Amino acid sequence: MLVLGLEASCDETACAIVRDDGCVLADVIHTQTSLHAPHGGVVPEVASRDHVRQVSRVVENALAAAAISLNDIDAIAVTARPGLLGALLVGVEFAKGLSLATGKPLVGVDHLHGHLSASALFANGTACHVAPPFPHVALVASGGHTALYLVKGPNASQVEALGATRDDAAGECFDKVAKVMGLGYPGGPAVDRWAERGDADKCPLAFPRDRIEGFDFSFSGLKTRVAAHIETHGRPESEEALAHLCAGVRSAIVRTLVGKTLAAADETHVGAVTVGGGVAANRFLRSELARGAEARALMCFLPARFACTDNGAMIAWAGLQRLLAGERDDLSLDASTTSILPSVTRKGRGRRS
Ligand SMILES: Nc1ncnc2c1ncn2[C@@H]1O[C@H](COP(=O)(O)OP(=O)(O)OP(=O)(O)O)[C@@H](O)[C@H]1O
Ligand SMILES: [Mg+2]
User: How many whole angstroms separate alpha carbon 160 and alpha carbon 309?
Assistant: 22
Backbone angles phi, psi at 153, to 5 degrees: -170, 180
User: How many whole angstroms separate alpha carbon 350 and alpha carbon 200?
Assistant: 34
Indicate the angle between helix axes 239-268 and 187-196, nearest 10 degrees. Answer: 110
Atom in ligand 1 nearest the alpha carbon of residue 178? 31
User: How many whole angstroms separate alpha carbon 338 and alpha carbon 83?
Assistant: 7
User: How many whole angstroms separate alpha carbon 27 and alpha carbon 7?
Assistant: 11
User: How many whole angstroms separate alpha carbon 91 and alpha carbon 70?
Assistant: 16
Q: Probe ligand 1: pick from 29, 174, 219, max atoms within 8 Å of CB?
A: 174
Q: Which CATH number applies to 124-302?
A: 3.30.420.40
Closest of 162, 125, 146 to residue 254, by C-alpha = 146
Q: What is the DSSP letter of 186?
A: S
User: How many whole angstroms separate alpha carbon 135 and alpha carbon 18?
Assistant: 24
User: How many whole angstroms separate alpha carbon 43 and alpha carbon 10?
Assistant: 9
Q: What is the DSSP letter of 316?
A: H
Ligand 2: centre distance to CA 277 (Å): 6
Nearest CA to ligand 1 atom 4: 188
Fold: same for 2-120+307-324 and 124-302: yes
- Ion ligand 2 — residues with CB < 5 Å: 142, 310
Nearest listed ligand to the Cα of residue 306: 1
User: What one-character-per-residue DSSP string does 47-65 give?
Assistant: HHHHHHHHHHHHHHHHHHH
This model's pTM is above 0.75 = yes
Residues contacting residue 59 through CB under 8 Å, at least 6 positions apart: 4, 6, 15, 94, 98
User: How many whole angstroms separate alpha carbon 192 and alpha carbon 247?
Assistant: 8
Nearest CA to ligand 1 atom 31: 188
Neighbours of 33 (CB within 10 A): 14
* Ligand 1 binding site (Cβ under 6 Å of any ligand atom): 10, 83, 111, 115, 142-145, 171-172, 174-175, 186-189, 192, 277-279, 281-282, 309-310
Backbone angles phi, psi at 70, to 5 degrees: -55, -30
pLDDT of residue 353: 35
Cα four-point dihedral sign 262, 266, 268, 269 = positive
Nearest listed ligand to the Cα of residue 280: 1
Q: Strand 24-31 and strand 2-7: pairing? A: unpaired
User: How many whole angstroms separate alpha carbon 300 and alpha carbon 272?
Assistant: 6
pLDDT of residue 129: 57
- In the CATH scheme, what architecture does the domain 2-120+307-324 have? 2-Layer Sandwich (3.30)
Q: What is the pLDDT along the chain (353 residues), one digit of tens a residue?
A: 999 999 999 999 999 999 998 889 999 999 999 999 898 889 999 999 999 999 999 999 999 999 999 999 999 999 999 999 999 999 999 999 999 999 999 999 999 999 998 887 766 545 555 689 999 999 999 999 999 999 999 999 999 999 999 999 999 999 999 999 999 888 999 999 999 999 999 999 988 887 888 999 999 999 999 999 999 999 999 999 999 999 999 999 999 999 999 999 999 999 999 999 999 999 999 999 999 999 999 999 999 888 899 999 999 999 999 999 999 999 999 999 999 998 655 554 444 33
pLDDT of residue 86: 97
pLDDT of residue 211: 80
Domain borders along the chain are 2-120+307-324, 124-302
